[in-house]
Amino acid sequence: MNQEIIFISDLHIALEKPAITRRFLDFLEKRAVGCQSIYILGDLFDVWIGDDDHSPPVKAIKNKLRALTQSGVAIYLQHGNRDFLLGNRFCSETGVNLLPDYSVIDLKGTPTLLMHGDLLCSDDEAYQQFRIKSHTREWQQNVLSKPLLIRLLAARWYRIRSFFHKRKKPQEIMDVNQTTVVDTMRHHKVFRLIHGHTHRPAIHDLQIDGQSAQRFVLADWKKDYADVLVWREGEFAIERL
């Protein structure tokens, strides 16, 4: 097994996005084999309506994830703003390890904070209020208690609603707040942050209390290609699939 660590996010897998599904399955079957670990930092699915959903392409993805974890590759998953209802049943069926919203790992000797990234977009007050409500046990139990068909229809409505809401929002509030980034990194005592969510891939250099720091923003997956962050032997590379 090699020592590569791969970071991905924002695949937004859905039935109507077969190219992305095929690319992810191919990634699990070929590129990810033999790696030390894979980190999926949120929004693996475009919408997740409960661990009892076995509609295509969920079953195929679960099988490939399970095969990879059984081969010895550690896979870690964070909730995104689209798939935060992923639960323990999904993890037990796939062997995937669920990470908290803020997760600090030792990345080749450097403490590194992993996040989906939505919590950094603090200027989007309407979303942050919804996030608080939707992460309560009462709200989630209410949603998951509905019949699967109702949840599937509600998910389709939610995606349409989300699309039009985003078009109305100013672009600047949909990106991270720089003060929130610095405060978050300072709170967790790190000088490296990796996240997704914004669909604005980049590597940002910044200063925290006079020390150099870096923020890696992962790319969302496209119909024709996907860029992933690969860490090997203390160095990183952006690799296109």
Token readout for 17 is 């996005």
- Helices 148-168 and 137-144, packing angle to 10 deg: 120
Per CATH, is 5-240 categorized as 3.40.50.300? no
User: Cβ(6)–Cβ(33) under 8 Å?
Assistant: no
Given a cut of 70, is residue 167 above it in pLDDT?
A: no
pLDDT in tens, 35-93: 999 999 999 999 898 999 888 899 999 999 999 999 999 999 999 999 999 999 999 99
What is d(CA 42, CA 195) in angstroms, rounded to the nearest whole number? 9
pLDDT in tens, 203-232: 999 999 999 999 999 999 999 999 999 999
How much is the pLDDT for 209?
A: 95
